[in-house]
Copies of this chain bind each other. A is one copy, B any other.
């Protein structure tokens, strides 16, 4: 068994080159939602994989390609590493302290759109593999990098890719994308994600906006929409759509144990959000609520006049964007069917329901897999502390389509971010030291993973 220390020493000796590579990757915009820079980014990512000696495949999809890089190792174990090379749109631009694609370092922080979510991880993981190759000529275990370009738009083509390329996707386990250190410096690992169903609902009144003096006689699209929305949840936020909760799986004893051991920091959230959390009459902890409650959330609502001053009209149309975050084993399309039937039953068959691209199934990997143990042991070595282990995250990702469906256990939560990384927001940033530490963590993980006899 090869020693880890020389690998870590190599990383320390080449840290500036790795940072410089990350800056170069961050300077290339790659906004899938706006079709901005995606081709250039895909080319750079493939070149980076080839540079570290990986055998690459650029697999075309109906959208942006999935870039696969494979490296062989001493152990028969194969670790898949999932990341994405697309980023969120950088708007609003004027809210950034440093322009989002300059990738400048200031006070030890690297600012750039996508540096935390998820280019920092993509590069750190590449360089962790590179370090082993540079020092020993090969890796401790086989590694398959799976880099997609559509995570920020709901991974619509990752499922078909996985289905058509099972030989590429096959692995003993999968290291999931981003991860963040909390204010104590602790990583939070997770073995599942929520699903999502994103809808737009529209109500209509008259054929055009009417003068509001007609209000005693004319239907108002905004009131109509509000009435329909009023049927979706009860006063406590519980969803009233029949069969909505039918397939929800309750936490196991082991999952409850983990949530008790690693609870959500309520005080920190309230302080950051500057609001009390929602009260909840049901007797479950905030952690369980966060991770196990599916939600019906309004992302946006509009209709009629929203400018300054007064305008007296009856809006002809009103709309709302809703995301349902789903938990295992809810199915987005079944939920959509339940919702449509319910609206009709409640007398709201006139309210139009449109599904937006990017619905995803929830996923839950087994938690107590050897990959978790390897991540914990390697974190102990590199960070000097142990990660929290939560059964799942409240976020969403294509874990079901890429891993769960093929029996590959996936674990997320190891990465370059920290509690103020501001993903999806202006001034997205990471601490440069976290980038180096995460590179070392993954390097250590490869060695740990290689030794596992039972994955």
Chain A residues near B (Cβ < 8 Å): 33-34, 88-89, 91, 95, 153-154, 194, 196, 198, 204-220, 222-223, 226-227, 229-230, 233, 235, 237, 264, 269, 273-278, 286, 289-290, 293, 295, 297-315, 318-321, 323, 325, 356-358, 393-396, 422-427
List residues of chain B with CB within 8 A of the CB of A230.
226-227, 230
Q: List 12 additional A-B contacts (Cβ < 8 Å) besides A212-B325, A226-B226, A299-B315.
A: A206-B273, A206-B274, A208-B425, A212-B295, A216-B289, A216-B293, A216-B394, A219-B276, A222-B320, A297-B314, A302-B302, A310-B356
- Please give the distance in Å from A183's CB to the nearest CB on chain B: 15
The answer to whether B299 and A313 touch across the interface, beta carbons within 8 angstroms, is yes
A34-B308, A289-B216, A311-B424 given as contacts; is B222 within 8 A of A300 (CB)? Answer: yes
Q: List 12 A-B contacts (CB under 8 A).
A: A208-B422, A212-B297, A213-B325, A216-B290, A218-B277, A218-B278, A220-B297, A230-B230, A298-B315, A300-B306, A301-B318, A309-B357
Closest to A221 in B: B298
The chain B residue sitting closest to A117, CB to CB, is: B211
The reply to whether A321 and B298 contact each other, CB–CB distance below 8 Å, is no
Q: Is B209's CB under 8 angstroms from A297's CB?
A: no
Given A227-B235, A278-B218: A306 in contact with B319 (beta carbons within 8 A): yes
Residue of B nearest to A427 (CB): B208
Closest to A279 in B: B219
> Which of B220, B227, B295, B309 is A215 in contact with, Cβ under 8 Å?
B295
Bound state CA distance, A309 and B33, in angstroms?
A: 6
Q: List B contacts of A422 (CB < 8 A).
A: 208
Whole-angstrom distance between the Cβ of A155 and the nearest chain B Cβ: 12
Residue of B whose beta carbon sits closest to that of A89 = B311
CB distance from A115 to the nearest CB of B (A): 14
The docked-state distance in angstroms from the alpha carbon of A290 to that of B276 is 44
